[in-house]
Chains A and B, each alone.
Chain A
Amino acid sequence: MATHTDFKKLALERLKTVDVLMSVGEWWVAAYMLGFVLECVLKAGACKALCLEIYPAPQTTKEKKITSYFLTHDFDMLLVISGASDIFGLSGSAAATWSGFMQEYQESYTRIRYDLKSQYDEAKVKRIYSFLTREPDGIIPLMENKNKW
């Protein structure tokens, strides 16, 4: 499984992929990839918050509680272990950013892969992208500025 540095690198690299996808109007795949970027951001955050050298992998644990917390695509669960609930929880200063991003994913982002008909248009994807990247209150800038990932 990946390390903190791997997740951070993956997030930033895939964000570049999103830029390419958006430039050619691939809104559906861009929405999927934006979900993946957030997953990497939160997993990098978890590595940092919990001082994990390597993120837990399926083959390294049989404990179901560990599995459900770490080996998941669930953003709310990953937020808990990322140590960023104080920022993005309802009482946090950036609750609006988190809610804004999340409301565009009514189901797990991984299920988008199997959608035959895209629910994501240009406006929606640009909104998601903005909640993730905009300065100063996007998810990535806040994780960076608060030294959370």
Chain B
Amino acid sequence: MVDKFKTILNNLEAKGPITLLALLKMDDILDKWIVVFCAPWSTEQNMAETFEFIRKEILKTLDAQEVSEIARIAIYGRSEHLIEELLKYQSGVELKDQKINGNLVHSANIIRSNPAV
């Protein structure tokens, strides 16, 4: 899954630089991922378009089983506290049972972390 998200990252970065792309598991019962995304070119006005762009790349790259392991895509602005917290970690970092933004994250993969963007 993480390797495939590196491919997805490359395709997404074709549109422009990405501040953060991360996979988070926060659910106590269902073992599903939340895709967290932040980019300077993603705004509130084009959020639906950005969502569809990310979703299409995911559906194109992952198989049906892997897609079913993703609960949703969360697109945030740079000022969102969760984004600030996740940007403390570098690209490639894998986290287990960390408290982030006040919530227990069971598992996290930071695919891209670029605070300078």
Contacts and interface: CB of A to CB of B under 8 A. Distances in A.
Contact residue range for chain B?
A: 20 to 34
Contact of A98 (B26, B47, B72, B103): B72
Given A90-B58, A96-B48, A107-B103, A74 B29 contact: yes
Interface SS of B by simple majority:
mixed
Contact residue range for chain A?
A: 10 to 19
A106 B76 CA distance: 11
Given A89-B68, A107-B102, A99 B27 contact: no
Interface in B72-115: 72-76, 82, 101-103
A31 B103 CA distance: 18
22 contacts: A68-B29, A72-B29, A74-B27, A74-B28, A74-B30, A77-B30, A80-B30, A89-B68, A90-B58, A90-B67, A90-B73, A96-B48, A96-B52, A98-B72, A100-B47, A102-B71, A102-B74, A106-B26, A106-B101, A106-B103, A107-B102, A107-B103
